[in-house]
Amino acid sequence: MQGSTSPRVNRWTAVAILTFVNVLWGLSFPISKTVSFQIDQMFGVSAEHASTELRVAAASWLIGSRFLVAMLLFALFFRPLIRRAGRDEWIAGAQIGAFFVTGLILQVMALATIPASRSGFLTSLVAVYTPLISAIVWRVKPPIQVILGVLVALLGVAVLTGLVTIDSGGIGIAADARQAWTIGDTLTTLGALFFAGQIMLVDRFGRRLDAAALTPGMFASTALIALIVFAGTRPFIPETPSIGWIEMSLRPGFWTLVLLLSVFCSVMAFNWMNTYQHYVSASQAGIIYTFEPVCASAAAMVLPALLSNLFAVDYGNERLVWSMLFGGALIIVANLLSLLPTPRRRKRSA
């Protein structure tokens, strides 16, 4: 991560770095969920019964704190990179950040009520959305592999969330299908749409601007928008007095988790993403990012018990269950199908 010059790397180096970015993002799911547990514990509410206003405020407060710290770290250690960012990079970074923060607020809100592994797989549908949205924006017919990918993704989501069961009796709608799909699933799916927009903007701006210099504008707009949302939501929260947020802000455990998210999952991950993604195509980047839910699931099976002991929250390790394994595999297959290159039509011989 050099702050003075843009690195010149080959495509495989970029692929390796972007793959490691997925590992860092995977860690963010159980860490963010731990912070949600801390907030609920602080205000004496359960995730299922907390008001929508509290969920919005908690998510935006965490994100604002995380990216404010990330921006301060950038100012301390990447000053040449910040000076290198021109007006165009700041504007482009702000646009990327606007899409990103909207998706992230929705994702973190949902993480309070759904497993981290489930969130990771639903978020990975960004690989299906990206080519589909591109086709809609450019008013072209989606390629057949994108349509097939959407159909496989729908089946994968249905299995993952329990809407559909597959057993010796065949495929059928679950008896509790109405309860299987939750508001958390809806919020995460909506968030993935905004992440698709973020990836498309990174690809667009990264090819004609200084890619690494997009990061400061992205971090600044993310922090600013999140804190504005928190300030606008805070007066309408029924459960929490203002003193509670101040007390949370003084807890070392909270800032330890924020620093982990800021240093590893923000500064390192997104600086590398913005720096190296333009060395591969948008479709190739989407394929690489399908590794994120696998990392999130692996982290959710190991980290929660450790985080629970360190930060005094009730958060147990997730277990590998059939619906997650099969549904998640279908979603990854759908992502790969959607990102296959479009076959070129052969010209007929005269």
The model's pLDDT over 57-80, given as tens digits with 9 standing for 90+, comes to 999 999 999 999 999 998 898 888
Span 227-240, mean pLDDT? 86
| Residue pLDDT, tens place only, 10-59 | 788 888 899 899 999 999 999 999 999 999 988 888 877 888 899 999 99
User: Is residue 95 included in any domain, yes or no?
Assistant: yes
Global pTM?
0.85
Span 232-256, mean pLDDT? 84
CA pair distance 11, 288, nearest whole angstrom = 12
User: Is residue 217 included in any domain, yes or no?
Assistant: yes
156 phi and psi angles, rounded to 5 deg: -60, -45
User: Is residue 345 included in any domain, yes or no?
Assistant: no
120's tokens? 């990771």
CA pair distance 74, 53, nearest whole angstrom = 31
Check residues 273 and 115 and name the one with the higher pLDDT: 115
User: Is residue 18 included in any domain, yes or no?
Assistant: yes
| pLDDT value of residue 347 | 45
Check residues 11 and 177 and name the one with the higher pLDDT: 11
| Residue pLDDT, tens place only, 113-153 | 999 999 999 988 887 888 788 778 878 777 788 788 888 88
Mean pLDDT, the chain, rounded, equals 85
| pLDDT value of residue 276 | 86
| pLDDT value of residue 169 | 61
User: Is residue 234 included in any domain, yes or no?
Assistant: yes
SS (H, E, C) the chain: CCCCCCCCCCHHHHHHHHHHHHHHHHHHHHHHHHHHHHHHHHHCCCCCCCCHHHHHHHHHHHHHHHHHHHHHHHHHHCHHHHHHCCHHHHHHHHHHHHHHHHHHHHHHHHHCCCCHHHHHHHHCCHHHHHHHHHHHHCCCCCCHHHHHHHHHHHHHHHHHHCCEEEECCEEEECCCHHHHCCHHHHHHHHHHHHHHHHHHHHHHHHCCCCCCCHHHHHHHHHHHHHHHHHHHHHHHCCCCCHHHHHHHHCCHHHHHHHHHHHHHHHHHHHHHHHHHHHHCCHHHHHHHHCCHHHHHHHHHCCHHHHHHHHHCCCCCCCCCCHHHHHHHHHHHHHHHHHCCCCCCCCCCCC
pLDDT band at 7, cuts 50/70/90?
Answer: low
How many structural domains is the chain composed of?
1
pLDDT greater than 60 at residue 278: yes
Query: In the chain, pLDDT over 90 holds for what percent of residues?
Result: 42
Q: Tell me the residue range of the domain where 270 lies.
A: 11-338
User: Is residue 57 included in any domain, yes or no?
Assistant: yes
| pLDDT value of residue 324 | 86
pLDDT greater than 70 at residue 281: yes
pLDDT greater than 70 at residue 282: no
| pLDDT value of residue 168 | 62
Span 282-310, mean pLDDT? 86
User: Is residue 347 included in any domain, yes or no?
Assistant: no
User: Is residue 270 included in any domain, yes or no?
Assistant: yes
